Chain A
């Protein structure tokens, strides 16, 4: 079962890499654009800490960690989550989702692994580098315990994003014209560029419990920084509980949506 899943994933990844090789120049350009984005984000940190020493307890090293985490998460989302959901929306609209449903594999699994945008790994590496540097500037070493906590919180964050996207994708069974849903997602994600501590309490509450943006960038960054003041000790637990609940709900919702799908000429 697991070996078959791994085989499928590696098969799709291989096909995607081969497709990518046909558009190499475009790929290099996109990596250059990514680097430019990162530079402008770093300039942003420079500008902010030119004017002040700390933003609600976040110093420049902390902010570097957050910039790195933001880039890392954004890159991770662009490697597999967004491309697969984009393809799912397209398939539902065209009726070609039938070809997925007819295969003898779990449908949710299959729609989640078909697309892999390999060069976005560059974003992930750049993000890790910047976050690692911020951490190093803070204490001169990469602490082991915090790194493990960080990895766990990051996994929970990705699970939450995945679940949100699966639910958005499933909505497409009813509302076929939601191509712009991706723009809504990135617009909201924009608010995670800075620590949620900068917002007033009501907004912070909203971004923690209603739109769980806090668990996607701020909480992993705070875990790597290892500062108890930035997140309450119960936050990791909350994050995992939320990730579990959302994965479950999105899975149920996907199956509920499938029952509504009747194919649209394929």
Chain B
């Protein structure tokens, strides 16, 4: 445990220093996470105006603003890119030295992930504020919803990281399968509630979204934070579902990682 803690804090320091060095570049990564929800907000609020009652799937303009404001923040703080990166590490052989260390490479990836979020704060927080001031979202969340919502965001971040890492394990079997990362990302977009609130999906897509884990990473924390989830039991049930999925994927990671490392033969060095 001590070893883990010491190594992790060392990883974190190195990762933050590295991220700070490439400030400009990582800001560009963050820009998409700002533009995409803003464009979708404009799209959906315009679509709502096309209906007689000015609402769509129970959202009016202000609520779409609140929803996409939450999605913008959640999308940024929960982002993970291992589903793309691990394949590159395997192809280039740079995974080998990482495997020689007495600590799982997943901890180094986690440190890089946290470092990215720390390093981009100074840029994204003002952008969020500007979006808030322009859009003027209507929130109806009470204190309990916000506090449970923040917990849900943290769980969503961990869940996203773990699922992304499990998806990345596919790279051990086929190192040039970037398409898997893309498919994972596209499914999270469609079925997680990033493209549209789940209520707005046609029935078939909604049914699919309800059984997949993605909704617990985006739609659920967003709806909780904006106050769309009205009862404590519904909120707690959602957090319970997040924990169930998390446990399932941690297990999948342990089994998958053991099998993957057994398969791994270094490519160059």
Q: Which residues of A contact B (CB under 8 A)?
A: 26, 29, 32-33, 36-37, 40, 43-44, 46-48, 50-56, 180, 183-184, 187-188, 190-191, 193-194, 197-200, 203
Chain A neighbourhood of B182, CB < 8 A: 33, 36
Task: Give Cα distance in the complex from A199 to B46, angstroms.
Answer: 8
Q: Which of A29, A52, A190 has the most CB of B within 10 A?
A: A52
CB distance from A56 to the nearest CB of B (A): 5
Task: Give Cα distance in the complex from A187 to B51, angstroms.
Answer: 30
Total cross-chain contacts (CB, 8 A) = 82
Within 8 A of A (CB), among B199-237: 200-202, 205
Within 8 A of A (CB), among B37-56: 39, 42-43, 46-51, 56
Other-chain residue from A33, A193, A194 in contact with B179 (beta carbon distance below 8 A): A33
Task: Give Cα distance in the complex from A43 to B195, angstroms.
Answer: 10
Interchain CB contact under 8 A, B32 and A187: yes
Interchain CB contact under 8 A, A56 and B46: yes
Interchain CB contact under 8 A, A184 and B201: no
Other-chain residue from B24, B48, B176, B196 in contact with A47 (beta carbon distance below 8 A): B196
Determine the interface band of chain B, counting residues with CB < 8 A from chain A.
20 to 34
Interchain CB contact under 8 A, B195 and A44: yes
Provide a sorted-by-A list of 28 A–B residue pairs whose CB atoms are within 8 angstroms.
A29-B179, A40-B189, A43-B190, A43-B205, A44-B195, A47-B200, A47-B202, A47-B205, A50-B201, A51-B47, A51-B51, A51-B196, A51-B200, A52-B47, A52-B48, A52-B50, A55-B43, A55-B50, A180-B25, A180-B28, A183-B28, A183-B31, A184-B31, A190-B35, A191-B35, A194-B42, A197-B46, A198-B42
Chain B neighbourhood of A29, CB < 8 A: 179
Known contacts A32-B179, A33-B179, A194-B42; A51 and B32 CB within 8 A of each other:
no
Known contacts A46-B202, A199-B42; A55 and B47 CB within 8 A of each other:
yes
Write the chain B residue with the least CB distance to A48. Answer: B47
